[in-house]
């Protein structure tokens, strides 16, 4: 354990000054900073270092302080809407039709909630005297004294005022210091007489001058290194003798949180880079899609469960759709590709209904319809929307990555090779494929990757587009396609158990998530 002399030798002139002021009864860093003529942050830094050595006790608190918003300041001056309504109503009351100011109408509900008046038959009738409430007292106090600690104000009234956006708060840190017995003992170690003498510093001497008085040297200069005088506890330099202040590399430094790209955005960027490296072209599309492109063009029957309201956000609008004769024929009778179709009658009015896209495949099939000739190698990373209950693994909107390749003589084996390459670039060394089913691909697979501690985890779906999907748009070559829910991948990569963190502004999580060049 360091001796008192060792601890004293580590103290800079500033540390000694701060310790002296604390011992003499100053506990507020702002007052200490004013007394010494230095910055408050410098006082706090010194005090934290002194606390690490056990020389100072440190009490750090974080509390909410409140101020009036612009609207709150106005109401503090002219009165809350319900108070002004009560004054207008007087003893006889007032009819609602006589109140023309929209700002006053806000107070009608508050009159009833506070029990100040009855509102019946279109008339406000005061009940009784209404003494100033806690909320009004807080408005008056904040108007008079400005920023105030929440601990000094009524908690329930503050909640009401905050919900009405009449007050706003911020977190404020405060420090309080006190010298420990060991701190006092260290001060007396320098010279065994008085505490004042132990510093060799007088009040009123500048911090810069105090370095010369104490004869401490805090920085080794190039001249000292060249001459070799820097070694040892004392340095003879330019006719004076200095004591070298040790530098403790084990002391904790203040944490720095630099600006950085959001972890989820970094992951999306990395996925985009991989697709571009593999020769794909990025495509974009509209969030609002017709049911034709979102469902019908993908050979989903018009009575498919995925179209139900519990899965899809429907809009009250209708879209124009392209010539649908070939799609109608494919749905009803299977066209000329050897399919039986779905039978029944395909209704173009159902296809015109607009939805928030439930997958990016609606963008992909539209792109393929506009580019029916090979080669096509495209991808999209975009947001999709489904009526999901919000929980740790589901949200109603999320990102999806989708890729398609269309060319001559492509095979199912080519699809597996591309997927393995993609997941390998994402950092997954072990990839396998399990047979799966999807409405618009055949054959279909579900890629799985091996995660240490979790085992095999499914990460998307893939397959070859069915001829019922491609034939109506004049596409005569195989189309390989796959999709990936990016959120699940992000949870694995970032070690999350709650998907919602990706979309919340949790500053603590954002600060603690390490920055990596490649995710």
Query: What pLDDT digit, counting tens, does each position of 139-166 carry?
Result: 888 888 888 888 888 888 888 888 888 9
pLDDT digits (tens, 9 = 90+) for 282-324: 999 999 999 999 999 999 998 888 777 668 899 999 999 999 9
Q: Once rounded to an integer, what is the mean pLDDT over residues 224-236? A: 74
The closest alpha carbon to 86, from 137, 161, 136, 158, belongs to 136
Supply the pLDDT for residue 444. 93
Domain boundary among 171, 194, 210: 171
Neighbour tally for 384: CB within 10 Å: 22
Does pLDDT of 239 surpass 80?
no
What CATH number does residue 491 fall under?
3.30.930.10
Classify residue 465: in a domain, yes or no: yes
**pLDDT confidence of residue 210:** 38
User: What's the number of domains the chain is made of?
Assistant: 3
Does pLDDT of 256 surpass 60?
yes
**Cα distance between residue 346 and residue 377, in whole Å:** 31
Q: Give the annotated binding-site residues for L-phenylalanine.
A: 361, 400-402, 440, 465
- Identify whether 149 is part of a domain: yes
Asked if residue 426 is part of any domain, the answer here is yes
User: Same domain, yes or no, for 32 and 133?
Assistant: no
- Residue 386 Ramachandran class (φ > 0 left, ψ -120 to 50 alpha, else beta): beta
447 within 8 A of 458, measured Cβ to Cβ: yes
Return the bridge partners of 379, or none.
282, 403
Of the chain, the end-to-end C-alpha distance in Å amounts to 44
Q: Both 337 and 457 in a single domain? A: yes
pTM higher than 0.75, yes or no? no
User: What is the predicted pLDDT for the residue at 189?
Assistant: 64
Query: In terms of domains, do 78 and 43 share one?
Result: no
Same domain, 230 and 109: no
* Domain end residue (candidates: 123, 147, 171): 171
Contact present, 488 and 451 (Cβ < 8 Å): no
pLDDT at 38 over 90: no
Residue that terminates a domain, selected from 171, 205, 226: 171
According to the model, what pLDDT value does residue 200 have?
Answer: 36
What residues are designated binding site? Answer: 361, 400-402, 440, 442, 465
pLDDT of 357 reads 92
Please tell me the least confidently modeled range out of 264-273, 317-326, 388-397.
388-397
On whether residue 258 sits in a domain, the answer given is no
Question: Do 158 and 295 belong together in one domain?
Answer: no
pLDDT the model gives residue 198: 34
* Beta-bridge partner residues of 95: 123
User: Is there a domain that residue 26 lies in?
Assistant: yes
Same domain? 318 vs 411: yes
Quote the percentage of the chain above a pLDDT of 70: 88
The verdict on residue 62 lying in a domain is no
Residue 273 sits in the same domain as residue 294 = yes
The model's pLDDT over 115-128, given as tens digits with 9 standing for 90+, comes to 888 888 888 888 87
Residue 105 neighbours by CB distance under 10 Å: 13
Distance of CA 474 to CAs 181, 192, 227, Å? 88, 99, 85
232's tokens:
């040892």
Q: 273: pLDDT confidence band, cut at 50, 70 and 90?
A: very high
Both 342 and 466 in a single domain?
yes
Query: Does 446 fall in a domain?
Result: yes
Contact 499, 491 (CB under 8 A): yes
Q: Are residues 443 and 316 in the same domain?
A: yes
290 and 411 together in one domain: yes
Query: 477 and 351: one domain?
Result: yes
Which pLDDT score is estimated for 8? Answer: 61
Confidence of residue 1 (pLDDT cuts 50, 70, 90): low
**Domain that residue 229 falls in:** 4-55+180-244
Please, are residues 267 and 519 in contact by the beta-carbon 8 Å criterion? yes
Q: Is residue 32 part of a domain?
A: yes
57 neighbors 177 (Cβ within 8 angstroms) = yes
* Binding residue positions for Mg(2+): 442
Same domain, 199 and 125: no
């Amino acid at each position: 354990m360091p001796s008192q002399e060792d601890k004293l030798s580590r103290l800079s002139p500033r540390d000694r000054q701060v310790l002296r002021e604390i011992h003499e009864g100053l506990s507020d860093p702002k007052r200490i900073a004013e007394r010494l003529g230095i910055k408050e942050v410098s006082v706090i830094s010194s005090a934290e270092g002194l606390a690490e050595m056990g020389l100072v006790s440190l009490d750090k608190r974080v509390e909410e302080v409140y101020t009036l918003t612009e609207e709150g300041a106005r109401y503090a001056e002219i009165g809350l809407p319900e108070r002004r309504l009560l004054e207008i109503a007087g003893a006889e009351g007032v009819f609602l039709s006589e109140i023309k100011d929209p700002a006053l109408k806000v107070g009608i509900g508050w009159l009833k909630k506070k029990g100040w008046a009855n509102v019946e038959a279109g008339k406000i009738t005061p009940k009784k005297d209404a003494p100033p409430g806690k909320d009004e007292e807080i408005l008056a106090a904040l108007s008079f004294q400005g920023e105030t600690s929440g601990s000094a104000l009524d908690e329930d009234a503050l909640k009401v005022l905050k919900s009405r956006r009449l007050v706003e708060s911020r977190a404020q840190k405060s420090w309080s210091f006190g010298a420990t017995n060991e701190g006092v003992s260290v001060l007396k170690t320098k010279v065994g007489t008085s505490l004042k003498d132990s510093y060799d510093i007088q009040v009123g001497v500048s911090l810069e001058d105090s370095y010369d008085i104490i004869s401490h040297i805090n920085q080794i200069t190039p001249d000292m290194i060249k001459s070799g005088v820097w070694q040892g506890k004392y340095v003879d330099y330019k006719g004076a003798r200095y004591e070298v202040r040790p530098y403790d590399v084990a002391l904790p430094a203040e944490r720095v949180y630099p600006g950085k790209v959001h972890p989820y955005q970094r992951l999306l960027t990395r996925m985009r880079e991989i697709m571009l490296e593999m020769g794909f072209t990025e495509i974009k599309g509209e969030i609002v899609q017709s049911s034709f492109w979102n469902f019908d063009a993908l050979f989903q029957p018009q009575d498919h469960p995925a179209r139900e309201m519990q899965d899809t956000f429907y809009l009250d609008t209708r879209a124009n759709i392209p010539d649908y004769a070939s799609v109608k024929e494919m749905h009803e009778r299977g066209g000329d590709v050897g399919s039986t179709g779905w039978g029944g009658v395909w209704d173009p009015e159902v296809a015109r209904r607009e939805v928030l896209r439930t997958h990016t495949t609606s963008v992909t099939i539209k792109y393929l319809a506009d580019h029916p000739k090979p080669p096509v190698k495209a991808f999209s990373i975009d947001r999709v929307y489904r009526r999901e209950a919000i929980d740790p693994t589901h949200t109603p909107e999320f990102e999806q990555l989708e890729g398609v390749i269309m060319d001559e003589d492509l095979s199912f084996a080519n699809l597996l090779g591309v997927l393995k390459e993609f997941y390998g670039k994402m950092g997954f060394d072990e990839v396998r494929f399990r047979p799966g089913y999807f409405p618009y691909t055949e054959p279909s697979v579900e890629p799985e990757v091996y995660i240490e501690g979790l085992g095999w985890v499914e990460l998307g779906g893939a397959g070859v587009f069915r001829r019922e999907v491609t034939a109506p748009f004049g596409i005569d070559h195989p189309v390989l396609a796959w999709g990936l829910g990016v959120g699940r991948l992000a949870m694995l990569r970032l070690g999350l158990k709650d998907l919602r963190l990706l979309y919340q502004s949790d500053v603590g999580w954002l600060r603690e998530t390490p920055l990596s060049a490649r995710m």
